[in-house]
């Protein structure tokens, strides 16, 4: 076998395999770099990156989600979500209230303090993201975000779908 392996492209063409064309390598490198530049940006939020994602999810929605719906949206275990919300609530970044339609369910709302903290953190994170995406022009960076969001949504959908092979 030669040092350079090949695979078929979707169009039937053969492409040489190399690290710089491998999706797994690219995702790992980008994820590691993003984690490095983003970690400092989210240290001001209880729970770090997880707390930040909860605030983003709450700030972007209209109807306050239940704790369980929020856990699913940000892909966190519901027990972890409970502890994280306790911490965010202790810092007055979120509040929980009974759902008026079902008082057994708790809705989660971002507070004004939470929005202000999110705005500060987001400004820092935008600067960090800018450093990571420095080699891309505005259009390419926007397209990358759009495509990654689509892949992430598909991955999340797949992770929430019941395993059909477990019958």
**What pLDDT does 71 receive?**
94
With 60 as the cut, is the pLDDT of residue 117 above it?
A: yes
Q: Which residues contact 118 (CB under 8 A, 6 or more apart)?
A: 45, 52, 55, 56, 59, 110
Q: Please, which contacts does 122-125 make with residues 24 or more away whose CB atoms are closer than 8 Å? A: 124/40, 124/41, 125/38, 125/41, 125/42, 125/52
Name the nearest CA neighbour of 63 among 114, 17, 100, 20. 100
**CA angle, corner 43, sides to 149 and 53, nearest 5?**
30
Q: Any residues with CB less than 8 A from the CB of 72 and at least 6 apart, and which?
A: 160
Q: What is the mean pLDDT of residues 22-32?
A: 89
Whether the per-residue pLDDT at 86 is higher than 60: the answer is: yes
- Residue 150: per-residue pLDDT: 93
Per-residue pLDDT for 160 more than 70? no
């Amino acid at each position: 076998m030669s040092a350079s392996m090949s695979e078929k492209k979707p169009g039937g063409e053969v492409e040489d395999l190399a690290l710089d064309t491998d999706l797994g390598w690219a995702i790992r490198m980008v994820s590691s770099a993003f984690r490095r530049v983003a970690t400092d940006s989210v240290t001001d939020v209880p729970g770090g990156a997880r707390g930040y994602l909860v605030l983003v999810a709450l700030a972007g929605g209209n109807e306050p989600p239940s704790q369980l719906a929020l856990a699913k949206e940000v892909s966190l275990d519901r027990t972890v979500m409970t502890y994280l919300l306790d911490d965010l609530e202790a810092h007055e970044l979120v509040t929980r209230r009974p759902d008026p339609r079902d008082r057994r369910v708790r809705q989660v709302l971002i507070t004004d303090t939470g929005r202000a903290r999110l705005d500060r953190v987001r400004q820092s994170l935008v600067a960090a993201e800018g450093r990571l995406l420095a080699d891309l022009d505005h259009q390419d960076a926007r397209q990358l975000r759009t495509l990654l969001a689509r892949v992430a949504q598909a991955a999340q959908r797949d992770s929430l779908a019941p395993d059909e092979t477990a019958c």
